[in-house]
Amino acid sequence: MLRRFLQNPSLPLQKLREMVARQRRIESTAIEHMAYTMLTPYLPKNHYPITNFMMLPSAVLTLMNDMIMNQRKTIVELGSGFSTLVLARFIVSHNLDVTYHSIDHDEEWYGILHRQLVAEGLTDIVTHHHAPLTASDYTYQPNLTWYDPAKLDALALQSVDLLIIDGPPAFSHTHNRYGAVNYFKERLTEGATIFVDDATRSGEQAMMTVWSDATGKPFKTYQRFATTDPRTIARLD
């Protein structure tokens, strides 16, 4: 691409930017295709709804790396889906001693995924919870909502060593996931990993900045996710 620009220096800068962006999309697609292939042994046996909200395969591989490299014991996932099913099958395959809580705000989606977990025989591996969004002292602004703290308090979530933030949806407001910072900061172990999906969006970036300041743990972003343990990133480029 650079050679093409040097051969034709009159190429408009905007055109060059478009070429770079296109090349990056091609490379990103190739990375995710490779990662998805590596996930094949752990894919659900039954059909799983494919949506735009699915976590990238490279992100799921990174979480698998973290579970093995750091010998995780207590995982909390905010926003369940494809990753929940694959990680649960990974836990079974490797006979890992892990407590895994997954939390959903949407009752309909909770029902869909729970039926998937039942069909896959994974309800003993993943404890799946429905926690609707409510007004909360943990939100970024008083007019925002987050998972019902009473529902979360009932789970007695302590000594969390892998926190996966992939919910609630952040389309209506960029800081909808900020509550995770305030609620979990005193519930994480010293060596815990904080994993954030959709990390290239402004709300998540603001959240990660606050969390880094509070914990001293900087985030490393790859593809569209970020983690506080860059050793675990499944780099396939």
pLDDT tens digits along 86-104: 999 999 999 999 999 999 9
Residues 6 or more apart from 193 whose CB is under 8 A from it? Answer: 66, 70, 72, 161, 162, 163, 227, 228, 229, 232
Backbone angles phi, psi at 221, to 5 degrees: -100, 140
Backbone angles phi, psi at 197, to 5 degrees: -90, 160
DSSP state, residue 56: P
pLDDT at 154: 94
pLDDT at 169: 85
Q: What is the pLDDT of residues 67-83, one digit of tens each?
A: 999 999 999 999 999 99
Contact 110, 130 (CB under 8 A): yes
pLDDT at 2: 47
pTM reported for the whole predicted model: 0.88
pLDDT at 18: 65
Report the C-alpha gap between 165 and 27 in whole angstroms.
25
pLDDT at 8: 60
Report the C-alpha gap between 47 and 16 in whole angstroms.
41
pLDDT at 37: 94
- Fold that domain 44-232 belongs to in CATH: Rossmann fold (3.40.50)
pLDDT at 111: 96
| β-bridge pairing 225-227 and 188-197 | antiparallel
Strand locations in the chain (E):
74-78, 99-104, 126-130, 133-135, 145-147, 160-165, 188-197, 220-222, 225-227
Using the Cα atoms of residue 166, residue 168, residue 174 and residue 175 in order, give the sign of their dihedral. Answer: negative
User: For the chain, what are the domain ranges?
Assistant: 2-38, 44-232
Report the C-alpha gap between 203 and 170 in whole angstroms.
8
pLDDT at 118: 97
Residues 6 or more apart from 68 whose CB is under 8 A from it? Answer: 94
Question: What does the pLDDT profile of the chain (237 residues) look like in tens digits?
Answer: 545 544 565 557 666 566 666 666 656 677 888 989 999 999 999 888 877 778 999 999 999 999 999 999 999 999 999 999 999 999 999 999 999 999 999 999 999 999 999 999 999 999 999 999 999 999 988 889 999 999 999 999 989 999 999 999 876 667 889 999 889 999 999 999 999 999 999 889 988 998 899 888 899 999 999 999 999 999 887
pLDDT at 4: 54
pLDDT at 13: 67
DSSP state, residue 199: T
